């Protein structure tokens, strides 16, 4: 499918006149419509709740949109909890799915009344001593082995650091019941960025069977099953987009097969999608500032991997549109590169594009999740601004760009003067 930016050249230039490139821009209308579709896909389940994975796009202005449209947040660190609190979240609107958790993180999660998802058996005592177990606790499960969908191996849970074994899940429930826990949730995250409508239903089948067995063996009340994240987006023009209503229907079929006959039709379905919720509704806008002709043809841009790490880190494909040249033929083969002293700082390699001139604005697609948030400061590069494009095409800066003094602030010892 042709990938079309949600912003045109005129709007991008209007933003760039006030907020210098590079910047990430987010499409509020797209996010809102997508949230509506997600809620509608699971509306058959009266307890359904999406907990947006904050690490995908940790900006309180974005989280306020989530709050307004009735979805919760999934946090895994102290700072994510603080951002969520600032955006108005508390209580069971917060899922705390962390691992290797420091004490202070659990203490804050407890204070905010979050639902705590324990990653390991040893965390029962760790959390109980620190905070006392809650009436509702969630358990993260790791089924081990390999996970296959439609006969192809999708991932190897046996090599993943997360979650408890099946036996540990039964033991955990038993111990927590003795200590007064009344309601349980089962959580698992097996595969990232799946582009198949079968992932959630297959995962649901595994988790519903487990939840049923836990209920039958221990008598525990299963309050929810959390399918977590992993629903992917079409990064390339060839990827078939997921159909969230088909995914919701697939999960419903499994629910009716397993939970309804077992008399467990009060179990709520939770999800913790990040990428699927905001991924396609963000873009990195960057300007072409150099061209270089050596053994290959390079276009140098003012963004770098510090603003969007996925291509450098995973070799991920991100589609790139030259704004204003959407309909021009792709006659040139370019490497689109940033300025890090790292040869993997390439947004695209051997990409067929229209002729790019210095000053052109490039729109790097699908940076709305795990884009800005994976940024870093290598080479003293600074994090960019973030901009929210409203449905009426007006815009607000929702995070300013870093300045050198932000970078230097942690050297604030009296021995040095930075000017």
Ligand X SMILES: *Cc1c(COP(=O)(O)O)cnc(C)c1O
343 to 382: interface string for ligand X, x by CB under 6 A: --------------------------x-------------
| Phi (first) and psi of residue 103, to 5 degrees | -55, -45
- Residue 52 touching ligand X (CB under 6 A): no
Give the CA distances from residue 379 to residues 157, 249, 368, in Å, rounded to whole numbers and listed in that order.
Answer: 35, 48, 24
276/395 with CB nearer ligand X: 276
> Per CB under 6 A, which region of 129-137, 222-230, 347-355, 374-382 contacts ligand X?
222-230
In whole angstroms, the minimum distance from the beta carbon of 34 to ligand X comes to: 13
In a 3-state reduction of DSSP, which class is residue 346?
A: strand
Give the CA distances from residue 89 to residues 32, 62, 71, 386, in Å, rounded to whole numbers and listed in that order.
Answer: 18, 13, 10, 22
- Residue 192 touching ligand X (CB under 6 A): yes
Chosen residue from 27, 28, 50, 74 binding ligand X by CB under 6 A: 74
Q: What is the DSSP letter of 155?
A: E
Taking CB atoms within 8 Å and a gap of at least 24, the contacts of 30-34 are: 30/6, 30/280, 30/281, 31/62, 31/65, 31/277, 31/278, 31/281, 31/368, 32/65, 32/69, 32/391, 34/276, 34/277, 34/278, 34/280, 34/281
Given the structure tokens 């609107």, which residue do they identify? 93
97 to 136: interface string for ligand X, x by CB under 6 A: x---------------------------------------
CB atoms within 10 A of CB 271: 29
269 to 298: interface string for ligand X, x by CB under 6 A: ---xxxxx----------------------
99/218 with CB nearer ligand X: 99
In whole angstroms, the minimum distance from the beta carbon of 369 to ligand X comes to: 5
- Residue 229 touching ligand X (CB under 6 A): yes
161/293 with CB nearer ligand X: 161
Size of the site for ligand X (CB under 6 A): 18
Positive or negative CA dihedral for 192, 194, 200, 201?
negative
d(CA 109, CA 123): 14
Per-residue three-class SS string for 279-316: HHHEEEEEEEEEEEECCCEEEEECCCCCCCCHHHHHCC
233/336 with CB nearer ligand X: 233
In whole angstroms, the minimum distance from the beta carbon of 56 to ligand X comes to: 5
- Residue 163 touching ligand X (CB under 6 A): no
313 to 332: interface string for ligand X, x by CB under 6 A: --------------------
Chosen residue from 53, 204, 348, 364 binding ligand X by CB under 6 A: 53
> Per CB under 6 A, which region of 10-18, 51-59, 152-160, 327-335 contacts ligand X?
51-59
d(CA 376, CA 131): 33
- Residue 66 touching ligand X (CB under 6 A): no
Closest of 399, 406, 204, 237 to residue 321, by C-alpha: 237
**Residue ranges in contact with ligand X by CB under 6 A:** 53, 55-56, 74, 76, 97, 189, 192, 228-231, 272-276, 369
């Amino acid at each position: 499918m042709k990938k079309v930016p949600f912003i045109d050249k005129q709007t991008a230039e209007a933003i760039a006149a006030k907020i210098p490139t590079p910047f990430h821009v987010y499409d509020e209308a797209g996010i809102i419509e997508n949230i509506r579709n997600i809620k509608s896909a699971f509306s058959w389940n009266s307890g359904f709740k999406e907990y947006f994975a904050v690490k995908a796009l940790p900006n309180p202005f974005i989280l306020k949109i989530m709050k307004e449209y009735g979805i919760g947040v999934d946090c895994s660190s102290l700072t994510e909890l603080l951002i969520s609190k600032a955006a108005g979240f508390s209580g069971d609107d917060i899922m705390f799915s962390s691992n290797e958790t420091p004490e202070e993180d659990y203490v804050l999660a407890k204070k905010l009344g979050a639902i705590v998802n324990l990653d390991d058996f040893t965390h029962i005592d760790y959390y109980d001593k620190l905070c006392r177990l809650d009436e509702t606790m969630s358990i993260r499960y790791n089924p081990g082995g390999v996970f296959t969908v439609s006969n192809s191996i999708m991932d190897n849970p046996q090599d993943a650091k997360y979650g408890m074994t099946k036996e540990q899940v039964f033991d955990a429930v038993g111990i927590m019941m003795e200590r007064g826990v009344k309601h349980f949730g089962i959580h698992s995250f097996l595969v990232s960025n799946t582009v198949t409508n079968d992932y959630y239903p297959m995962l649901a089948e595994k988790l519903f069977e487990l939840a049923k067995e836990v209920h039958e063996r221990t008598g525990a009340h299963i309050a929810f099953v959390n399918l977590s994240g992993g629903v992917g987006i079409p990064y390339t023009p060839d990827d078939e987009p997921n159909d969230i209503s088909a995914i919701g229907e697939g999960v419903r079929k499994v629910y009716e097969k397993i939970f309804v006959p077992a008399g467990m039709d009060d179990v709520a379905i939770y999800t913790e999608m990040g990428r699927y919720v905001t991924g396609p509704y963000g873009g990195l806008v960057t300007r072409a500032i150099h061209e270089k002709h050596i053994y290959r043809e390079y276009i140098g841009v003012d963004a770098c991997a510090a603003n969007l790490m996925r291509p450098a880190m995973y070799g991920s494909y991100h589609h790139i549109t030259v704004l204003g040249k959407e309909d021009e033929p792709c006659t040139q083969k370019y490497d689109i590169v940033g300025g890090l002293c790292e040869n993997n700082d390439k947004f695209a390699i051997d990409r067929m594009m229209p002729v790019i001139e210095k000053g052109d604005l490039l729109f790097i697609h699908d940076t709305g999740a795990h884009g800005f948030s994976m940024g870093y400061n290598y080479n003293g590069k600074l994090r960019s601004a973030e901009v929210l494009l409203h449905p009426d095409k007006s815009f607000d800066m929702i995070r300013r760009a870093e300045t050198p003094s932000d970078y230097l602030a942690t050297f604030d010892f009296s021995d040095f003067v930075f000017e």
